[in-house]
Structure 1
Amino acid sequence: MTAYILRRTILSIPMLILVSFIAFFILTLPPGDYMTSFQNQLTSQAGLSAIEAEELANQMREKYGLDKPFVVQYYNWVKNIVLHGDFGYSFFYNRPVGEVIWSRMGYTILIASLCHFISVFMGVLIGIYSATHQYTTGDYIFTVIAFIGVSVPAFFLALALLYFFSFKLGMGVGGLFSQEYVMAPWSFAKFINLLKHIWVPIVIVGFAGTARNMRVMRGNLLDVMGRQYIQTARAKGVSEFRVVFKHALRNAILPIIMSLGYAMPFLIQGEMVTAIVLDLPTTGPAFYKSLINQDMYLAGSFLMMIAVILVLGNLVADITLAWVDPRVRYD
């Protein structure tokens, strides 16, 4: 297992380099750059002439290396990341990229991790119930809810909940804190206020994941329950609880474990869409604004973050799969 982990870690380095190159290349494809819009702002808002604005924008391009060829820009970006941990400068936020990302990463990981845990835990439990109570009223209800969960986009559900709670119930559910707690220092009251708001994005993002896991768990468990060794166990008088949770569940849950590796990046992407609608202080709105404003260093760093999480998630999923199923071996 140790040799496998080392081999996977070494192989992930060229893959991440390739991902970073493609992402950086795509981000530089649109005509112009951030300084183009900055130049327009100088002429329309600052009152500078077109020549003065262009001269100032060119000075900014030279300062941050935007006047250099694409390959040189990419090389300098990667070199600064590897040698100095410097992800570049965010022109839109006027701050280093690292500060923008890490100031928002905590809430992003918190929401995505809670959604991940709830979607797996609830999806597996509901899937087991539906499989062991096939064609009952409860099974039909959960199946319909699962179809709704995989069909309704996250942004639509966020808008629906925002409208219902804000206009029908008079509850403020946007953001993670009430207005009086946004800039307040941490306290027990602020923590309680966070709990009153954070459940909304968790429900929205985790709903689709729970529905997918429920459908996968139900289908796999029904397939396993029809196999011959399960019928043999029942014929020998093994209790139904032991048959389901010891013999059938171990094989039926394997696809859920394999999906854990790539689920977290999708949850973070879902959190991004929900965060934009609910105006959450997470990476979602910052990533969206970086794309709109061609803030390429910030956008590229976000894409690299998702790629690293995907690689690490797949590695953890493979290790967990080998631990759960003794037949799986990585040599």
Structure 2
Amino acid sequence: MKKNALEILGTVALCGAFFAQPAPADDGHRHAKGYGKFEFALIGDVPYNEADYWKLDNVIAEINADKQLKWVMHAGDIKNGSSLCSDELFLDRLQRFSAFKKPFILTPGDNEWTDCHRANNGAYLPLERLDKLRELFYPVPGRTLGQKTLRIETQAHDPAHAEFVENTRWMEQHVMFAAVHIVGSNNGLAPFATRTADDDAEVDRRIAAAQAWIAETFAKAKAENARGVLLMFQANLGFELAKGSSGRKGFEEIIADLERETVEFKKPVALVHGDSHYYRVDKPMLGTISKRRIENATRVETFGADDVHWLRVAVDPNSDEVFSVHQEIVDANLEQHPQP
């Protein structure tokens, strides 16, 4: 029997280091006070297929058993792009994510709302699905999902951006974390038959809110002399593409903001996303003016879709790198589904 949202909430080896540039010489108090190391789990683009639900169960079991992990971050796309966007599916995902014993932070993906106009998705109105997502997955503004919850900031507390409960932020051991609602399908600009002016207006509001949240996050990080910043969003923004490319439509303003803020911040910045289903840790950001690699910016893309594994992100606020990423391959998920 399906549980409703309130019942669900109630029951609720290879590693890549970031090698970011060290802090500038005038940051004389960088190591004056030590902060504790910690780790968290990163997933995304999961679960995609019903046949792989058992693989997600294995991931959840591993993460729950690891006492080192402080929370779980999900980079969006909680279903594939050709399945129903029904309330029943959303409640199924809510129930599965509620099995995590640790705080669970989700940023929305395009598959669960912007692309729901597709016939094989149920021909929903995307904005109606977005409202339902916010109702189910962000029921208490400023509190995470998961059996153990975490109090965090939310942009919904800003009257200018009150609808954006999914844009969240918190600090741990002097490192800043934030989730920003930026999705694939050109950030929701992809055309579809029933698109209206309301859909266009939503994109404008969401981009403005994302820009404000990014600016405020970096401003707070600089004011508090944070050791590093990690931003999570769903979309692959097309960092490698030329400015003005079709793949960067809907993202240009945000990319420009991320470039400027990262260069000015000077310390390690992690840009975490899903979308492409291709695990990687690299440095794709080139300065628009300098044409040089922005060394303190590191992109982390999650496992996803058929690759049902997870990433362990280790955070050492007292190191120059701050972040390092370790892939956690779930051996059982490399096998065929166990026979009954």
Common fold by TM > 0.5: no
Higher relative contact order (CA 8 A, sep 6+): 1
Give the TM interval when normalised to the shorter protein.
Answer: under 0.3
* Greater per-residue helix proportion: 1
TM-score (norm 1): 0.25
Structure number with bigger Rg: 1
* Greater per-residue strand proportion: 2
TM-score (norm 2): 0.24
